[in-house]
Structure 1
Amino acid sequence: MGESTTKKSFLKKIIAIILGFGPGIFAIGYTIGTGSVTSMIVAGSKFNMDLLWVLFLSCLFSGVLMFAYGNYGLITGETALYGFKKHLKFGKALAILIIVGITFGQWNSLMGILGISSNIIYEILAINFDGLIDYEYETVLITAITVIVIFYLLLLVGKYTFFEKILVIFVTMMALSFILSLFFVQPLPIDVIKGLVPKIPNVPGGKMLVAAFVGTTMASATFLSRPLFVKGKGWTIKNLDQQKKDSITAAILIFFISGIIMAVAAGALFYDGKEVNHVLDMANTLEPVAGKWAVTIFFFGALSAGLSSIFPCLLIAPLLIADYQSGELDTNSKQFRIITFIACLVAIIGPAFGANPIEIQILSQVFNVFVLPAVILGIILIVNNKKVMKAYKTSIGINIGLFAALFFSLVISYNGIVALTEYF
């Protein structure tokens, strides 16, 4: 009797830790979606662990930016875009540019996410029902419509804590699936160490992947929405320490989970000279090693990653507009319902035209890079504005981190422009 009670209380403790996770869970939901899963798998399969350094820097700077945006929100009680509009000379133009850029990137991403998730569900069904093979397009489209309708209805229930709980479930399932997959295949330890040395693979598509990597890991949406989610959690200036820990934990987890996905792809595909170009290629990563079970575990992880991103992607445009207007997100307003409905319609475009979701996904991640310098510049100007921050002074360490992030984002944006010109 005693043993089962201790087991139960231990389980309860773990569940409490996971559910006690703050706004950082949204950061993970935004960041590790099908976009980053796709980028990590394609990178692992093509370049082994060579891009681990890009992932490391992206996560390091993400932590700094989440911390800076969160602190700004707690100290001033304002949200980011509203603050830009109010306090910066060209703040209004900057804020509008950011809204348009991020919405474009995230809605594009939504098409890819819905496409990949629907394809995954189709593949799982096709493994079990042979008759579906002739109806791939129809099944994928019907699945996509069903998934997006369910999510839209869930959005109308709209409460922060409700979204947070759903995200926690998906993110946990995703992490566990990929950790399980890692037991089946591992990259060589020396390759992991080599991957931390900066270099851009000099092959077609190398630059594009580096840009997609940063676009998906240093996601502007993650930082901008931070003050809103910190507010949604009910945190105040008394929670500065908690906010700091939450930012660090989120950054470490993003690095850890993304690195595992890359390692699984490197271990399963790179050494065999296989590449990923279609959704099913992703699952074939593991089949030789672990059979059908691996395919199911892996698909489950990728599906959880996709579903955990649909919420944040649907929420982003109304979030940013509410942030710009007043800093309050009203999930029951007419504006919220209309904007999220348009986002749902956009999401179905990819599956409706039968586009290759993997290409859409990587392209949309590259577009995310271009707004990044503006998002970083805005926060640098505002956290160093004495009138805004009052008695609170931003430390030299954080400033060095922010300027380094700005330099990094400019280099990657340039790299992204070169990649796109080569692509088109």
Structure 2
Amino acid sequence: MDATTAKNSLLKKVIAIILGFGPGIFAIGYTIGTGSVTSMIVAGSKFNMQLLWVLLLSCFFSGILMFAYGNYALLTGETALYGFKKHLKFGKALAILIIIAVTFGQWNSLMGILGISSNIIFEILVLNFAGLSIYEYETVLITAIIIILVFYLLLLVGRYTFFEKILIIFVTLMGFSFLLSLFFVQPLALDVVKGIIPTIPDVAGGKMLVAAFVGTTMASATFLSRPLFVKGKGWTIKHLDQQKKDSITAAILIFVISGIIMAVAAGALYYDGKEVTHVLDMANTLEPVAGKWAVTIFFFGALSAGLSSIFPCLLIAPLLIADYQSGELDTNSKQFRIITFIACLVALMGPALGANPIEIQILSQVFNVFALPLVIIDIIILLNSKKVMKEYKTSLFVNMGMFASLLFACIISYNGILAMMEYF
């Protein structure tokens, strides 16, 4: 086999792996958006790699919970909220509470995502058309309207496989863009090792960032929506092993991509004592090292992260409501189109009000942690109910992982409450 043939064969294998990715691609879409990018960049610039342990634990527990929710769907044929409503005492009230809490957090995230994505495009335009700088508000708002309109029209296509392919493209571009950025700047290896040791920065904003980390990495929406995406993929009980591999792969990729973003920020900003208040700060710091390509590479990755999150965030409310009603999502229904249209209007509020998208994004991630303990408790009860699971028994390792994730979520939720009290 010559070198050219070997390269082509390797390329085909890589493409096959990417295209063969399952519902885990939606987990990455929910998790690594501009919320994650913003949290990782701000954390890296302020605290170096000190919060790497939070990311590691969050990804580990996320993998377990994705596996648990996916297995529940395959073994019972039911989705999450429908199962809560059907089997749990006060299940209807719990399910409705979860829908409200998760939708509130995700729609807040959507405002920040659209705001940051629009600002990124504005900064790229200004680099080429300096005269636009005096029309920042107008340009950002018009850009936001165009983006959300395009995504709404794409939603009307209404097919799972179409959404999956779009996300695969954005997530792949995002991963490669940030990986390329890492070649230009890296943190010290010792700082990476120290980051595994659990510590919370004893400074203003430290608690907020810890909560934001967990809010974006252990997102309730990721777990609740997984049964619907598993069913949308067409998986059955025969795909248990594939579902397990998909959960593990998604968790690993979330950790790797998020860790790379934090490392790039630490290498580019922390050692120079600089912090991020605007998205452009990151690229401008890379520019002396990597040249003008740094701006393009970083913005391309951040924009891909933002666009990869818009789809899942627009989908979350109709997903949860459809789950509650029947366990099935009809993307061609009038209900689906109305709810996603409302989500689009909510998303435009941030750019319309001219709010700082970075601040909105971090706050929205903190809100996401408050529903998390309830989401974990409910799945623990269902997976250990003989009436629900019948002959299927949840393994000791998965149970230990779920209870550990519950303890972690409770600690982080308490930390989030303290952070919000300090902020307001």
TM-score by length of 1: 0.99
Distance 1:411 1:3 in 2: 53
Q: Deviations over 1:275-301 (max 9, x none)?
A: 001121132231121121011000000
Deviation at 1:6, TM superposition (A): 4.6
The 1-side partners of 2:346 and 2:279 are apart by 21
Matches within 5 A, 1:4-403: 4-403=4-403
2-structure distance, mates of 1:285, 1:191: 20
Q: How far 1:371 sits from its partner (Å)?
A: 0.4
The aligned amino acid for 2:115 is G
Q: 1:351 is aligned with what amino acid?
A: P
The AA in structure 1 aligned to 2:107 is: W
Q: Which amino acid aligns with 1:147?
A: I
Shift of 1:12: 2.3
Structure 1 CA distance, aligned partners of 2:323 and 2:155? 18
Give, in whole Å, the separation in 1 of the partners of 2:402 and 2:10: 40
Cα distance, 1:7 vs structure 2: 3.6
> Aligned to 2:183, what secondary structure does the other structure show?
helix
Offset at residue 412 of structure 1 (A): 0.4
TM-score for the superposition, normalised by structure 2: 0.99
Question: Are the equivalent residues in 2 in contact too, given 1:265–1:285 (CA < 8 A)?
Answer: no
Q: Distance in 1 between matches of 2:272 and 2:10?
A: 41
Of 4-13 and 305-314, more deviation after overlay is shown by 4-13
**Aligned-partner Cα distance in 1 for 2:4–2:209:** 49
Q: Tell me the CA shift for residue 67 of structure 1.
A: 0.4
The alpha-carbon distance between structure 1 residues 44 and 159, as it changes in their structure 2 partners (threshold 3 A), is same
SS at match of 2:291: helix
Deviations 1:203-229 (A, max 9, x none): 000000000000000000000011101
Q: CA shift at 1:130, angstroms?
A: 1.2
CA RMSD between the two structures: 1.0
One-letter amino acid matched to 1:248: I
Report the CA distance between 1:5 and its aligned residue: 4.9
Shift of residue 415 of structure 1? 0.4
Q: Which runs of 5+ in 2 are unaligned?
A: none
Paired amino acid for 1:37: V
Residues of 1 paired with 2:110 and 2:218: CA distance?
Answer: 17
**Offset at residue 4 of structure 1 (A):** 4.5
Q: What is the CA–CA distance in structure 2 between the aligned matches of 1:17 and 1:400, rounded to whole Å?
A: 31
SS in 2 for 1:157: coil
Task: Measure the CA separation in 1 of the matches of 2:338 and 2:321.
Answer: 12
The CA distance in 1 between the partners of 2:218 and 2:229, in whole Å, is 17
- Does the CA-based 8 Å contact 2:269-2:282 persist in structure 1? no
Structure 1 residue runs without a partner (length 5+): none
| SS of the residue 2:355 aligns to | coil
Q: State whether residues 268 and 282 of structure 2, in contact with CA within 8 Å, keep that contact through their aligned partners in structure 1.
A: no
Distance of 2:400 and 2:15 partners within structure 1: 37
**Is the partner of 1:82 in helix, strand or coil?**
helix
In 2: Cα distance, 1:403 partner to 1:282 partner: 38
What's the offset of the Cα at 1:9? Answer: 3.8
